[in-house]
Structure 1
Amino acid sequence: MENETGQGDGDRSLAPAVTRAVAVLDMLAANREESFGPSELGRRLGIAKSSVSNVCHALAQGGLLRQVDGEYCLGQRLVEYGEAYLAGVDLVQQFHAACLELAEDEEETLQLAVLDGSDVVYLARRGGGHPIRLVSEVGRHLPATCTAVGKAMLATLSERELAERLGADQELRGLTANSVRTRAELDRQLSEIRARGYAVDDEEAGEGIFCLASTVPTRSGTTAAVSVTLLKARHSREREQRLVELLRKLVGDLAGRLGSTGVRG
């Protein structure tokens, strides 16, 4: 027999009002294209109409429900809670979990980074079968314009955002003789990245190092990117295309774990 919590007598809730509220939200989420009045919700849930009315009124006051012509549907506040949850997902943990899904014999180094002003910050790395000495140690800041992960993330920004991050100076910081040095050259590269779908660092952050990168859509507002790095001596056009596919697979898996969809270049 059900009681006013919508549960059997053997499953009595310690907080009946909360249990009723969860039941109402679950019902509306399962029928997200419809709205229901208290009578219909009570009938479907086995809860007294008066209890449902009180619950719905309180949820609407808190923005969790929206009332339209005497019926209720989900409210905007739930979106904020969802975004807060997604923002709390451990990006580094999910990166390592996604890396485990790749072939165990993968030879190249994988890295995760985020933007911090005009720099990138490296958060995690999964070493490959070929040891590489990198300037991009975990926790280190590097100029975004010198790295594949940085340029991939910069390519997603508007002109206003780029100006805010890079400033008015047309001369850019460099790390090697191959680093991009001017805003004009950077803008040209960013256009290529948007068209190609991934960024390239050809000995721009470190001599003898070649890197490919793509952004990870997170829905939480964090701008992140992952990269695959190899020795320049190992680079070939054929290997690059294979690594681009690896990168896309990693981005897709990681985006799914972070509650997002789609791949951005």
Structure 2
Amino acid sequence: MTQHAPDLPAPPAETGGGVRSVKSAERTIAVLEYLSSATRACSLREVATTLGLPRASGYALLTTLVNTGWVETDGAGRYQIGIRALRAGAAYVERDDVVQRAQPMMNELNNDLGETVHLARLDGAEVVYLATNISRHSLAVVSRPGRRLPSWATGLGKAILAHRPWEEVDELLPETLEPRTAYTITDRAALRAEFEEIRRRGHAVDEQESTIGLRCFAVALDFGTTPNEALSCSVPVVRLSPEREEAIVAALLRARARISH
């Protein structure tokens, strides 16, 4: 899979507060974001070339990040995100108000339904998983906290986007909607119609659009502004029946009412 780095920051310029951006900090952030999105360890050449860094500067920056624990090396000249980044991410989740409000209800849903429950937040055109309660069944597919997936291919993302004006969504999403499975909706007109249906019925359904064999039911969480988080329950299709689906959706709607108010 080809790795795409985040867009490089523009040359240092004064911000709205009159403070000039710091080039070294921008480069550090770009490296950390690139390695965070990579699916494997990356070489110095890959990092420097993709981010447009001079090789010597890239090596010095990576060495500093390795020495401070933000990046790790496999001993063969390849780099990956380090344990300090994990600690920072864990601290973010532990102190997040939405996570704290949602976790008790996620625990109840997980106990009552026995299925995997996720909480995620929209970040750009992707959803980032904030918390997960794993199914007690052996057959389960889990997205760990910190994982990012395209919003248009997940029940969580669709539940959030359905509550936004289409013009805003259209601008937010990439020009080409890459599929994750053969069921992913990649046609904009079809996706817009899907959002209208989500608003009508009050919840979103990911019909194997993100993972084959998995159906996900999701509801957006409303805290008085445009929804930015959603709660979901993911279930292998082999364990589903119409009655089971109805019970899951009802449980999610009850949980949303208790979390959001």
- Same fold per TM (> 0.5)? yes
Equivalent-residue separation in structure 2 for 1:213 and 1:102 (angstroms):
13
Secondary structure at the aligned position of 2:186 is classed as coil
Quote how far apart the aligned CAs of 1:237 are.
1.2
CA drift at 1:97: 1.6
> Is the Cα contact below 8 Å between 2:109 and 2:117 reproduced in 1?
no
For 1:128, what is the secondary structure of its paired residue? coil
C-alpha distance 103-235 of structure 1, shift in aligned 2 (>3 A) = closer
Superposed CA RMSD: 2.0
**Aligned pairs for 1:217-228 within 5 A:** 217-219=222-224, 223-228=228-233
Alignment of 1:16-27 (within 5 A): none
- Does the Cα contact within 8 Å between 1:106 and 1:129 map onto a contact in 2? no
Q: 1:249 to 1:163 in 2, by over 3 A?
A: same
Q: Highest Rg: 1 or 2?
A: 1
8 Å CA contact retained: 1:211, 1:228: yes
Q: Distance in 1 between matches of 2:155 and 2:110?
A: 23
Q: Following TM superposition, by how much is the alpha carbon of 1:107 offset from its aligned partner in structure 2, in angstroms?
A: 1.2
Give the secondary-structure state (helix, strand or coil) at the position aligned to 1:123. Answer: strand
Mark the runs of 5 or more structure 1 residues left unpaired by the alignment: 1-87, 257-265
Residue 202 of structure 1 is matched in structure 2 by 207
1:164 matches 2:164: no
Contact 2:110/2:116 (8 A) holds in 1 = no
* CA distance in 2: counterparts of 1:250 and 1:157, whole angstroms: 22
Is residue 185–residue 191 contact of structure 2 (8 Å, CA) maintained in 1? yes
**Residue type of the alignment partner of 2:204:** A
Does the CA-based 8 Å contact 1:135-1:206 persist in structure 2? Answer: no
Normalising by structure 1, we get a TM-score of 0.59
TM superposition shift of 1:219: 3.1
**What SS class does the counterpart of residue 111 from structure 2 fall into?**
coil
Question: One-letter code of the match for 1:114?
Answer: R
- Cα 1:95–1:152 change in 2 (3 A) is same
The answer for the alignment partner of 2:99 in structure 1 is 92
Q: Does 1:192 align with 2:197?
A: yes
What is the SS of the residue equivalent to 1:122? Answer: strand
Report 1 or 2 for greater relative contact order, CA contacts < 8 Å, sequence distance ≥ 6: 1
1:143 to 150, 153, 159: 150
Conserved 8 A contact 1:227-1:247: yes
Percentage of matched positions with identical amino acids: 37
Residue 133 of structure 1: how far off its partner (Å): 4.5
Q: What amino acid is the match of 1:187? A: R
CA distance in 2, matches of 1:202, 1:221: 25
